[in-house]
Structure 1
Amino acid sequence: MTTKYLIWDLPLRIFHWVLVATIAAAWYTSDQDNGFIDYHLICGYVALGLITFRVLWGFLGTRHSQFKSFIPTPSKLISYVKKDKHMQDPAGHNPLGSLMVVFMLTIILLQAVSGLFMNDDIFTAGPYNGAIDKDIEAILVFIHRNSFDFILGAIALHIIAIISYKKFKNKSLVLPMITGKKSSDDVSEKDAIKHSKIILAIIIALAVAAFVYWLVVMNAPVAEEYYY
């Protein structure tokens, strides 16, 4: 009889799907012609909070969510790439998937932070626009306007990996990220986590929400207005 073991904790799963929705909403609201640019800013703040939460969860979360459990050394990465195709995958992220996780967290964080300094030259500006050296701000604006293409590329690779796993290994990567569980055909009892550390996740989430609010509302420089 096949047994299901809990591998992905609930906070990680919520983070994953809320981030998916946030990225989709940020893409849709980025077009200035649709009049949703203010919502685009909110999406950026949410993304910043989500990535901040995930970074903290990478140190304080459950076993398979922690960075130390999946970020590979070069030797482990090479061994995985050269491995026999019949070898069993790790219970959590495999080494290639781990690199994608690190890349996605980094590029989305960069996109969210750089958005704080944006200005559409018409009506809307990020809360820190004009607060730093113009040359540095120009670099951040350039990054924000171009890095989303890398996010889309990473998403495309992620989808290809999901399809490949299903087609060639007959394994679903989507269902475990919904239920949190993997079959005993793929993992063993020693790989299972006992609980999702939900109370700790709530405390971290509240702290992160307070931090983002402080950053974009309370600590943001007051823009000077001139009337003629």
Structure 2
Amino acid sequence: MEMSGHIKLWDAPLRLFHWLFAGAVIAAIVTGWIGGSLMPWHGRLGLLVLGLLVFRLIWGFVGSTYARWPRIFAATFGVKDYLQGNWREAGHNPLGAFSVLAMLLLVSFQVASGLMATDDIAFQGPLHALVSSETGSALSGLHRQAKWLLLVLIGMHIAAIIYYTLVMRRPLVRAMIAGRTQREHPSQQDARGGSLPAAVLAIALGAACVWGVQAVGDWLRPEPAAVAPSLDW
């Protein structure tokens, strides 16, 4: 088989998810760190990240070749081949696959804990009424502490991109923008699948999940106390 040119690697919906996810997570960290009047925006960004996570979960089943979960999980078993220089697969290498899974799992925890967190002063997640005040406060503490681990993962991700770009001469950022990369082995083929109807379905389900959380939060919110009528004579 002749090796030449480039291959289609990342589909458009996955690329759009990647950049929206990166921007939303960073913005959520910044607004949460500053706090105060930005906490409502922190909550809104958390809901956006929730919708993106639901989209990514679904896209891992209906997206194109290299976006699918079986491909990513299979890559985690190739550590030995990768370290021995025998890795020939396109898409995420084993270390990249572990990084993706760790990032998605940690951000999922942050979203879940944020939805039910409360500090009884500056912020209450939309689903905080589902848990006791003590549990909500504990989740709020875990949510704040886990951000440090998230920052470590983000730093490692950026460092890996710089290393692969400058040392390994593999333009990962360009591939995530253009969707194509250099073919490095004859066995590497174009990504297939990931139709427009599948993308619309995944987006709709992500939006529906966000709407559902907001609806449940509104339903759980206690009615404002009635104001006693004035007795002015």
TM-score range for the pair, normalised by the shorter chain length? 0.7 to 0.9
Q: Which amino acid aligns with 2:80?
A: I
Tell me how far apart the structure 2 counterparts of residues 124 and 76 of structure 1 sit (CA, whole Å).
43
Report the counterpart of residue 35 of structure 2 in structure 1. 32
Equivalent position SS for 1:130: helix
With normalisation by structure 2, the TM-score equals 0.86
Deviation at 1:202, TM superposition (A): 1.2
**Displacement after TM superposition at 1:90 (Å):** 2.3
Match of 1:79 among 78, 81, 85: 81
Q: TM-score, normalised by structure 1?
A: 0.88
Deviation at 1:36, TM superposition (A): 1.4
Equivalent residues, number: 223
1:9-29 deviation per Cα after TM superposition (whole angstroms, max 9, x unaligned):
111100000001101211221
Farther-moved stretch of structure 1 (149-158 vs 121-130): 121-130
Per the alignment, do residues 123 and 26 of structure 1 end up closer, same or farther by CA in structure 2, a change over 3 Å counting? same
- In structure 1, how many angstroms separate the alpha carbons of the residues matched to 2:111 and 2:128? 13
Is 2:9 aligned against 1:17? no
1:8-157 paired onto structure 2 within 5 Å: 8-30=10-32, 31-33=34-36, 35-72=37-74, 75-81=77-83, 83-84=84-85, 87=86, 89-157=88-156
Deviation at 1:214, TM superposition (A): 1.2
Instruction: Report the Cα offset of residue 165 of structure 1.
Output: 0.9
The SS at the match of 2:7 is: strand
Q: Percent identity?
A: 29
Contact 2:14–2:67 (CA<8 Å) still a contact in 1? Answer: yes
129-138 or 205-214, larger mean C-alpha shift: 129-138
1:37 Cα deviation from its structure 2 partner: 1.1
The structure number with the bigger radius of gyration is 2
Q: Which amino acid aligns with 1:200?
A: A
Match of 1:216 in 2: 214
CA contact (8 A) 1:13 1:177 kept: yes
Q: Partner of 1:178 in structure 2?
A: 177
State the Cα distance separating 1:187 from its structure 2 match: 5.0
The alignment yields a C-alpha RMSD, in angstroms, of 2.3
- Provide Cα deviations, 1:63-87, integer angstroms capped at 9, x if missing partner: 1001111214775223323x13xx4
In structure 2, runs of 5+ residues without a counterpart are: 228-233
Task: Identify the residue that residue 207 of structure 1 maps to in structure 2.
Answer: 205
Contact 1:5 1:187 in 2 (8 A): no
Q: Which runs of 5+ in 1 are unaligned?
A: none
Q: In structure 2, how many angstroms separate the alpha carbons of the residues matched to 1:223 and 1:77? A: 52
